[in-house]
């Protein structure tokens, strides 16, 4: 019998942790459905994304491990989805360990290890650090300007 796997997530700023998770999920069964969090649902969760929903879904849909993409618009939809798509396995990263055990009467529930050292939140932080000018660079720029001012005085 063919096995359908389902997972849920925001997948903002798609990164290697996301890719490895999707690969492992695809290996668990024959068909992988990914529910991508909508802007409205993220707002409800207090999560701000850099990449809009349409682009996040377009990227996920293009990954060869993924067979179908659906919207994730609420916490409550999971049981409905499991029934509607005849899901055998619900799987997600272990940052959610235990949170979805209530699905166990309906399908297998698996928590997979995360890739260490990367997350969308961390990427957003690095972007901030990357784009801000350091104190040393600012002081150096001031010195250069001061020297130029003297040259042209």
Active site residues: 45, 47
Burial label, 97 (beta-carbon count in 10 A; 0-12, 13-18, 19+): exposed
Cβ proximity to ligand CTP: between 94 and 146 the closer is 94
Residue whose beta carbon is closest to ligand CTP: 93
Cβ proximity to ligand CTP: between 96 and 106 the closer is 96
For residues 104 and 42, give the distance between their C-alpha atoms in angstroms, rounded to a whole number.
25
Q: Give the containing element (helix H, strand E) for 9.
A: strand 4-9
Task: Locate 27 and state its tokens.
Answer: 């290996």
Q: What single-letter DSSP state applies at residue 36? A: E
Q: Supply the minimum distance, in Å, between the C-beta of residue 17 and ligand CTP.
A: 3
Cβ proximity to ligand CTP: between 38 and 115 the closer is 115
Q: Which residues bind ligand CTP (CB under 6 A)?
A: 9-12, 17-18, 21, 92-93, 95, 114-115, 118-121
């Amino acid at each position: 019998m063919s096995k359908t796997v389902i997972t849920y997530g925001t997948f903002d700023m798609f990164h290697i942790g996301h890719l490895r998770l999707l690969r492992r999920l695809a290996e668990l069964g024959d068909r992988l459905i990914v529910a991508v969090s909508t802007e409205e649902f993220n707002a409800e969760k207090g999560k701000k994304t850099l990449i809009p929903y349409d682009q996040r879904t377009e990227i996920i849909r293009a990954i060869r491990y993924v067979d179908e993409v659906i919207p994730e618009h609420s916490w409550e939809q999971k049981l409905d989805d499991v029934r509607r798509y005849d899901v055998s396995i619900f799987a997600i990263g272990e940052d959610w360990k235990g949170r979805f055990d209530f699905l166990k009467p309906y399908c297998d529930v698996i928590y997979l290890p995360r890739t260490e050292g990367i997350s969308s939140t961390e990427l957003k932080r690095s972007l901030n650090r990357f784009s801000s000018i350091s104190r040393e660079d600012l002081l150096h720029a001031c010195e250069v300007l001061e020297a130029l001012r003297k040259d042209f005085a």
